[in-house]
Amino acid sequence: MKAGPSNSDAIKERFETLKRDALQRFGEIKGAEVPRITIGMATCGIAAGAVETKAAFEKAIAQHNIDARVEATGCIGHCYAEPLVVIENPGFPPICYNNVTPGKARALVSSFLVDGDPLFEYVLGALEENDMIPSVRDFPRFSMEERIVTALSGRIDPEKIENYIAEGGYEALAKALALTPQEIVQEVQISGLRGRGGAGFATGRKWEFGLKAQGESKTVICNADEGDPGAYMDRTILESNPHQLLEGMAICAYAVGAEKGIVYVRAEYPLAVKMIRIAIEQAEAKGVLGSGILGTDFSFSVSVFQGSGAFVCGEETALIQSIEGKRGMPQHRPPFPALQGLWGLPTIINNVKTLSTIPAIIKKGGEWHKQMGSPKSPGSAIFSVVGKVVHPGLVEIPTGTTLRTLVFDICGGTPHRKAFKAVQIGGPSGGCLPEAFLDTPVDFDSLIEAGAMMGSGGMVVMDENSCMVDVARYFLDFTQKESCGKCTFCRIGTRQLLNILERITKGEGREGDIELLTTLCEEIKEGSLCGLGKTAPNPVLTSLKYFRDEYEAHIKEKRCPAGMCRALTAFYIDLDRCARGCDACVGSCPVEAIFTTRDRKKAIDQTKCVKCGECVAACPPQYTAVKRVSPPHLAPRIERPQEPQE
Amino acid sequence: MDAARPNENDDNVTPLKVLAATLAPFDVKRENLIPILQTIQEKEGYLSPEAMKMVAKHLGVTASEVYGVASFYNQFRFHPPGKHQIKVCLGTACHVVGGEIILENFERKLGIKHGETTPDREFSVDRVACVGCCALAPVAIVDETTHGHMAPSKVEGILLGFQIEKERKEREKEQRESGSQQ
């Protein structure tokens, strides 16, 4: 049977059968009057101890000899609350619990499942409106998000395709197969979707190139080579809802006429690799992937390629080189991969988020997507908001939301009443924006205008204790290591930039360094071929522009205003605050730099101190005697007594 | 497969037979180079010069070409890893809360630098760029376990844990041996 409008009824019928099966399987599970416990088991959940929590639930259920099911799901994006558990107990709304330790798990089983007391002190909120328990929707972290890509993440079992189909999955694929490829490309063009990988190229246009390209065979590649240190949304999507991505890939393949698909995922993400492999296998078994999809003549097979960890391979021509078994070095464009890509054949490369948005666009129409967010880059944007913020995690918001709303309203602002200093957007290619830019709407053009960029969506919030020079040095250290070495300006230029920044953070900055940095930055931008080199100086340029005073303090006064640069700071113990006979800090010091003074108080041997800050944490809050100063010579010198005191 | 290893303790003898068996299922195609290297590293823990030479021969490319590709990517290592692999995350979120301090503590306690293995082959320390658990920063991965909210005292705790475990095993071994002698 031929795919297209002529067979739309047959395709629809085929899909309906599939959906009925799935609903039946899931209806049985959901209809059963048995409590259901769902635990977030993506990488972050496991790191926070979800495995132990799950084991505790299972053991407690067995001990109480009750009938309950314990299931794993993906990540909901609320990393601050991990391990996150949802309990659906018949007679109660589904309730979400945060930071569930094994102890809490045992308590929940005996109190909630056995005695019917939902333990209000542990509740984060109910997932549905009800009169018993406040809903999570009262919480801005939930209510202000608008989820397209991550709508089902953390709500379905990523290892069960039926669960995705029961929630409306693969419906868009069935709809797409009843359209002509031209109609799909047009719909995507109407939607105004721009590539979510960072550069923001119009997806519809890319697909149009792909559709028109001539070649023996075409390939669709999903770029999941997420290398930005501080961004992990692609991994979360792969781990929590891999089918949505596969559906988007299949629609793309049908639209451009491709038969082969490759998911290029980092080998450092073992769980994501496992999940996508399972998903491919299941989708092929169900006939929504592989040969003769949904009974039509359209075939599309997907394989997984594990990237070996090179940041530059996120660039599409470098990614192709890497699949071909070579060093991942970017190539000149044109020819664009859409015309001559993998093995010289037409290749469409889209990011995970872009492809995962496609099913919703096909289902609800391009116009619906265009209405959402800001007019020039419509849709939603996913950010991983981390750093000095109260509620870190993944946030999906409509584009055009201001940074202030994102950082302060949704993520709760900076903790410990520290002053907000800057937000770093876009990872190593982005820039640091100060408070004055908090009202910038987040979309491709506004951020570039401000000097940052969307990039992969990594967002690091920094407070008064973060040193901007050190952050610039950190990113340069990263890009310098990741430069592939093809362009001289990028290879040697970033090295020189790093050398200068290292000198400055060590207190060896010289007059004229700032000017030298500026010139070098401009030259690297000019002289580099790919995005890595062109954007590598951004962290330096923006921090120089908005935080020049910090650079000057480092160079002229040898002082780090934030007290971060270790060479420019020193710890000392305020003898007026130190409690006589207290030993709290002594054991915490990893290098035994703390000694007892003649009057049985403590002092730090500056020659031994490695400035790790452990003693600050160890000093009891009623004393807070350990102080940090910059420049280091401000710390009072206290001699170690000759004879050890008893 | 372990039976093919002539001498477990002698690391200079590369189990070449095992390698040949590993290579066999891969077609002689340039695009298989990275998957082959990944498979070898998964089995051996690292890429030895002998292994890379065999891969070059298998694919009909020069050894320098293989090394050139392998050394380009962060995933590949050229020294045998320790029994316990420690990876310290130095992603952005970990950096702003002192990931480097955690790395330094491991380095100091073990007396090695990152990328190295202790002389007794017990531990190796590596720095990695973002493992994606930013909300738990600073993070370190020891073997398969991810430790969040690291602190220098936790570094000591982890290493002490291994020490105690090792001593316990030795004690048990001694007891077993003395038991069997009686």
**The three-state (H, E, C) secondary structure of A467-486, written as one string:** CHHHHHHHHHHHHHHHCCCC
Tell me if chain B has a CB within 8 Å of the CB of A474. Answer: yes
CA proximity to B15, closest of B66, B56, B55, B51: B51
Percent of chain A topping pLDDT 70: 99
Res B6: pLDDT: 42
Tell me if chain A has a CB within 8 Å of the CB of B146. Answer: yes
CA nearest A46 in B: which residue?
B146
CB contact under 8 Å between A46 and B30, yes or no, is no
CA nearest B140 in A: which residue?
A47
Res A118: pLDDT: 87
Which residues make beta-bridge pairs with A223? A264, A351
Which tens digit of pLDDT belongs to each residue from B134-161? 878 899 999 888 888 888 888 989 999 9
CB contact under 8 Å between B75 and A308, yes or no, is yes
Res B63: pLDDT: 94
Res A134: pLDDT: 84
Res A643: pLDDT: 62
Locate A5 and state its tokens: 């409008």
CA nearest B65 in A: which residue?
A326
pLDDT at B17 over 80: no
Binned at pLDDT 50, 70 and 90, residue B96 comes out as confident
Q: Are A161 and A243 in contact (CB under 8 A)?
A: yes
Res B5: pLDDT: 42
Binned at pLDDT 50, 70 and 90, residue B9 comes out as very low
CB contact under 8 Å between B33 and A227, yes or no, is no
CB contact under 8 Å between B151 and A617, yes or no, is yes
Locate B31 and state its tokens: 């695009």
Tell me if chain A has a CB within 8 Å of the CB of B79. Answer: no
Locate A224 and state its tokens: 């999941």
Res A492: pLDDT: 94
Phi and psi of A423, rounded to 5°? -130, 130
DSSP characters for B120-138? TSSEEEEEES--S-GGG-S
Res A426: pLDDT: 86
How many angstroms separate the CA atoms of A510 and A513, rounded?
6
Which tens digit of pLDDT belongs to each residue from B24-76? 888 888 889 999 999 999 888 899 999 999 999 999 999 999 999 999 998 89
| Residue in B68, B131, B134 closest to A327 by CB | B68
| Residue in B32, B90, B132 closest to A44 by CB | B132
Stated pTM of the model: 0.89
Residues in chain A, pLDDT under 50 = none
Locate B148 and state its tokens: 């969040």
Which tens digit of pLDDT belongs to each residue from A426-472? 888 888 999 999 999 988 888 888 888 888 888 889 999 899 999 99
Tell me if chain B has a CB within 8 Å of the CB of A44. Answer: yes
Phi and psi of A124, rounded to 5°? -90, -40
Longest dimension (CA), chain A: 96
Computed over every residue of chain B, the mean pLDDT equals: 85
Res A30: pLDDT: 64
Res A29: pLDDT: 65
> What is the ipTM, given to two decimal places?
0.83
DSSP-assigned letter for residue A194: B
Using only the alpha carbons of chain A, give its radius of gyration: 28
| Residue in B29, B33, B156 closest to A590 by CB | B156
Res A31: pLDDT: 63
| Residue in A305, A386, A610 closest to B104 by CB | A610
CB proximity under 8 Å: A 475-494 to B: 475, 478, 484
Is the alpha carbon torsion for A146, A151, A153, A156 positive or negative?
positive
CA nearest B69 in A: which residue?
A327
Chain A partners within 8 Å of B151 (Cβ): 614, 617
Residue in A226, A232, A459, A506 to test binding to B, most B beta-carbons within 10 Å: A232
Dihedral, CA atoms, A521, A526, A530, A532, nearest 10 degrees?
A: 0
Res A378: pLDDT: 92
